[in-house]
Structure 1
Amino acid sequence: MHYTAFALIINGFLGKWRTKYKKFTFPWWLLIHALFLLIIPLRIGLDTPAMSIPLFIAFAVLGQFIGSKYST
């Protein structure tokens, strides 16, 4: 479960950073999908059950939302 918290925290920072770019540009798109490059090998390497994938995605989206709302 603590890996979902990792997804939330990292996506918070990525969401904050994402607000500096215009929507649908390459950097904006890259910041939304960047964590998947880390989460997928982490999930496979730790043999996390497949039923936890929706939880990872939900926390990643929540982190992006929180990060974008609290950017300064």
Structure 2
Amino acid sequence: NLPAASLVSPLDAGQSGWLAELHADTIGAAAVVLGGGRQKKDDTIDPAVGIVLAAKVGDQVEAGQPLCWIHANDE
């Protein structure tokens, strides 16, 4: 089993509508900043952190609905 992150926060939709696109490179870069990947070869990876998508392209979303959940060990 993987360890659990100490902080889990939703990233909510700012308005209602349809999710038109996701930028995988931006989501991946955010995961690296959280510690879920390496910026340098000697960086360690924190297996507890990451981003869990709660909506996919084409989904209808309501304002305030989580688009993803951010798992982190620090703010």
Q: TM-score range by the shorter chain?
A: 0.3 to 0.5
| Higher normalized strand content (fraction of residues) | 2
Q: TM-score, normalised by structure 1?
A: 0.35
| Higher normalized helix content (fraction of residues) | 1
